[in-house]
């Protein structure tokens, strides 16, 4: 019997990905169905449902699920879930679709049918509904009023832009996933299904596993967070996003190389496993921290490392709001309905010249000028502008990989700094 944390939802890993003869038959049937184009975010959500990463979800959410998740972090059946997982279609696309119909979900970028879906409900998403979702899911303590939030969110918050650009009708229903897209081949050896990560943890005899979420290259602060977790858990799963990011973020392939260099040179390799998952970032800060813990539970992780400004963007969230939100969520009764993966809360970390090493606000008594404040955003900005990095900002092996990447860019994206990146907050 496994010593690992059980998957979320109490139903084991709910995998919607078809294989073998069943897959071949469904692909053939899909060619004759009405095709609905999907966004990159919806594609990632589909794949996660396919491989069990979003257990217990087996389809896109109903209106009752959507409302319950926005308001109470609970789906209609009372299971904890922090962020809506929905599929949108235009009014024209939805007009010919009735409840009970089967449709094909089509990725226009790669010209591939990703899934079939039985539509159990379709419901309108007005602009007011979309704004409601944004305020419930994306508005944090950094913008205390809705008026302040909307002054900047439409231009500066990529997650809000994603929601507001959704089409006007949501389609709900169970899916049969036909493909994992490019991920198994493009990120071979890194991309893993939850069943695969669980198998690797069990082979190493791990039971208490901490997950490190990465969307930036792994700098010294990430390394330190990881090493704290290694001290208190059996192992750490360095789990990097390999889906889409916002302009200016560093591509997954470059980040994977950086992690490889760090693990090889600065970790006891038997205590660390690197993996990748196929979602797009939503930049939902605290709510996304909860989502990260929810699907890491499915991957076999019992702890989620939550540091400063987890999954944040700009100054929309309080520095440690993604930690405190774990203390405010409901704990529904019923097998598997509550979130079991708990946060490993770690304070702001940095290199301190006087301490002569990595430290945190809980351990270092010195002044701000004695510290090298580490931030993925700051790292990207300095490298993109060809600037010199302060001593101890990053490992030489990682900086060399990143410099090579930036020197090869023909187009540069301006990278905005915010309070968390500069250390002003």
DSSP sequence for 309-364: TTT--TTSS-TTHHHHGGGTS----STTTS---EEEE---EEEETTTTEEEETTT-
Asked about 403 being catalytic, the answer comes back as no
Instruction: Catalogue the E-assigned strands of 355-398.
Output: 357-360, 371-373
Half-sphere exposure of 370 (CA within 13 A, CB side): 14
SS3 204: coil
One of 193, 215, 371, 380 is an active-site residue; which one?
215
Give the separation between CA 249 and CA 244, rounded to whole angstroms.
9
Neighbours of 20 (CB within 10 A): 7
Pairing relation of β-strands 87-89 and 169-177? antiparallel
Segment holding 154, helix H or strand E: helix 146-156
Q: Which of 216, 244, 271, 298 is catalytic?
A: 216
Closest to 168 (Cα-Cα) out of 119, 126, 105 = 126
As a whole number of angstroms, the distance between CA 35 and CA 125 comes to 20
420 torsion bin: left (phi>0), alpha (psi -120 to 50), beta (else): alpha
Nearest-angstrom CA–CA distance, 118 and 11: 21
- Assess whether 216 carries a catalytic annotation: yes
Nearby residues of 84 by Cβ (< 8 Å), 6 or more positions away? 61, 65, 66, 69, 70, 133, 137
Q: Exposed/middle/buried for 297, CB within 10 Å: 0-12, 13-18, 19+?
A: buried
Sequence-separated (6 or more) residues with CB below 8 Å from residue 398? 217, 218, 219, 258, 261, 262
**Where in the sequence numbering do the catalytic residues fall?**
215-216
């Amino acid at each position: 019997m496994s010593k690992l944390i059980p998957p979320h939802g109490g139903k084991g890993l709910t995998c919607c990905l078809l294989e073998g003869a069943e897959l071949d038959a469904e692909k053939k049937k899909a060619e004759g169905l009405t095709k609905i184009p999907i966004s990159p975010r919806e594609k990632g959500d589909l794949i996660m449902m396919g491989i069990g990463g979003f257990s217990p979800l087996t389809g896109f959410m109903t209106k009752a699920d959507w409302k319950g998740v926005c308001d109470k972090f609970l789906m209609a059946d009372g299971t904890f879930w922090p962020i809506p997982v929905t599929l949108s279609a235009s009014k024209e696309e939805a007009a010919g679709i009735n409840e009970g119909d089967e449709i094909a979900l089509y990725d226009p970028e790669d010209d591939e049918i990703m899934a079939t879906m039985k539509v159990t409900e379709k419901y309108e998403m007005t602009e007011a509904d979309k704004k409601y979702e944004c305020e419930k899911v994306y508005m944090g303590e950094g913008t205390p009023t809705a008026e302040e939030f909307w002054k900047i969110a439409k231009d500066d918050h990529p997650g809000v832009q994603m929601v507001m650009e959704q089409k006007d009708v949501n389609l709900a229903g169970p899916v049969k996933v036909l493909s994992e897209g490019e991920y198994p081949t493009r990120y071979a050896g890194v991309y893993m299904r939850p069943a695969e990560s669980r198998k690797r943890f069990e082979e190493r005899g791990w039971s208490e596993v901490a997950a490190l979420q990465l969307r930036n290259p792994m700098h010294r602060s990430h390394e330190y967070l990881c090493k704290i977790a290694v001290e208190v858990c059996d192992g750490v799963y360095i789990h990097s996003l390999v889906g889409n990011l916002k302009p200016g973020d560093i591509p997954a392939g470059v980040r994977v190389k950086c992690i490889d260099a760090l693990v090889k040179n600065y970790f006891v390799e038997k205590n660390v496993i690197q993996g990748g998952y196929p979602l797009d970032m939503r930049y939902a800060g605290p709510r996304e921290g909860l989502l990260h813990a929810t699907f890491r539970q499915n991957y076999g992780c019992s702890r989620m490392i939550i540091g400063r400004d987890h999954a944040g963007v700009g100054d929309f969230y309080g520095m440690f709001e993604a930690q405190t939100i774990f203390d405010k969520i409901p704990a529904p009764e019923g097998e598997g309905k509550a979130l079991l993966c708990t946060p490993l809360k770690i304070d702001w970390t940095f290199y301190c010249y006087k301490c002569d090493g990595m430290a945190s606000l809980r351990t270092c008594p010195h002044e701000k000028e004695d510290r090298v404040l580490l931030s993925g955003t700051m790292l990207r900005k300095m490298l993109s502008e060809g600037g010199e990095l302060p001593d101890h900002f990053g490992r030489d092996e990682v900086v060399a990989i990143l410099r090579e990447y930036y020197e090869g860019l023909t187009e540069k994206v301006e990278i905005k700094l915010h309070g968390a990146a500069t250390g002003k907050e």
